[in-house]
Each structure stands twice: as C-alpha cells, then as structure tokens.
Structure 1
Amino acid sequence: MHELAICQALIQQLETISRAHQQATIAVVHLQMGPLSGVVPALLADAFPIASAGTSAQDALLKITEGPLRVRCSTCGAETDARINKLICGACGDWHTTLISGDELLLERVELDVDDS
C-alpha cells in the first residue's frame, strides 16, 4: 500500500508548515487528486490517521477532491475533458493528444489552528 508512504511524505510537509507558523495545529488538509495519479482516495484517507498519529496533523480533517482529466489535441489544438481509458480529443476525435491534467496529487491548501497565547 504505497498510500501510507504518500501520507508519510505529506505529513513531513505538514510538519514543516506547522513549524513555520509557530507550531500551529493542522486543522484541515485539502488535496486535489487526478484520476490518473495512481493513488486510491479511500486508501489514502485510511492511511492518513496512521501516518499523522502523534503529529501536528493528528486531528486534521483530510479533504480530497478529484481534479479534471484534460487533454490538448495536437491536431486541432483544442483542450477538452477526457476519460481514463479514452484520451481522445473531445472536439475532433483524434488520438494525438497530450495530457494536461489528471495525473497530479496536489497539496492545495492547509488550514491551521494558531494558538494566540
């Protein structure tokens, strides 16, 4: 399950953010995940509490949104949505396309609880 390793790397980033903000507690973590990222969202969500135990993110809420799968056509230049097993141009139907989004796993935003004392 490589999702645990991904969560461990994510926790390292979150700990760096927490230290940069005077040991703030991580409240909410927003991730954007493309359908071709190679990560199963449910497994990532299951691994997050294990990886975050004992860290500034141990009580954080993990919010995962799925990003779009989009291609750019080499023939007509259109940028269109695509399907996982059908990366063809939605405008002209050509298969000469380049993936422009859908394989990413992005740390989009982190919400912090800052102790004002």
Structure 2
Amino acid sequence: MSTSASYFAVHVNIVCKPGTEEVFKQASLANARESAKEEGILRFDVLQDTSEPSKFTLVEVYKDAEIAPKAHKDTEHYAKWRDAVADMMAVPRQAQKFTTIFPSLEQGWSYPTEGDLE
C-alpha cells in the first residue's frame, strides 16, 4: 500500500549561448536518460522554452532532499554533462528548490518500470 509523502523537486533554469541549443539538448538528454535510472530520482525532465529556444529547464524530482541529490551529483553521467555544457551557458544556471504537494504518491512521479524512455 502506498502512503502519501512529499518529495524534493529542483527546477534548474539554463540559458544557452546562441547556436549551442542542439548540442546542449543532446548532452542533457543523455544525462536525463541515465539520471532517470537512479534509485533516488523519481523524475528527470528536460524542457525547452517554445518562445526562446536558448532557454531550458531541467525538472528533477528526488525521493529526499539530501541523499539522492548528492548521489546524483556524484555520478559519472552528471560530471560528464556538467563539463560538456559549462561553456555553453550564457549565464550561470539557476536552481529553484521545492517541496512537492501533488502528486503525493511516488507512482504519480515515477517512470514506468518497463520499456525505454524517449
């Protein structure tokens, strides 16, 4: 039986230098695909602004506020992403941190357990 809980969400807002959007997107997708497999991560979404394509938001939802985010930043795929995109950013990335309210069950955030993510 599932119980109601709050999770830790981070929105990472990024502005890329003009002309780097596609390379940034591909690096972020590679990171997101690996991040979605991590035990402590419920969601890892990559969003691109429709009116300003150089703006992206990463939506990360963790099972907790301490262990899972640190574990994520200790992964090889995060380090590879961080290093690959560092020179693409027009301004330093900004993070907003949240406590989730809805959905309140893990199943509302989790990816399906079968099949590939695309």
Report the TM-score when normalising by structure 1. Answer: 0.29
Larger fraction in strand: 1
Greater relative contact order (Cα 8 A, min sep 6): structure 1 or 2? 2
Larger fraction in helix: 2
Report the TM-score when normalising by structure 2. Answer: 0.29
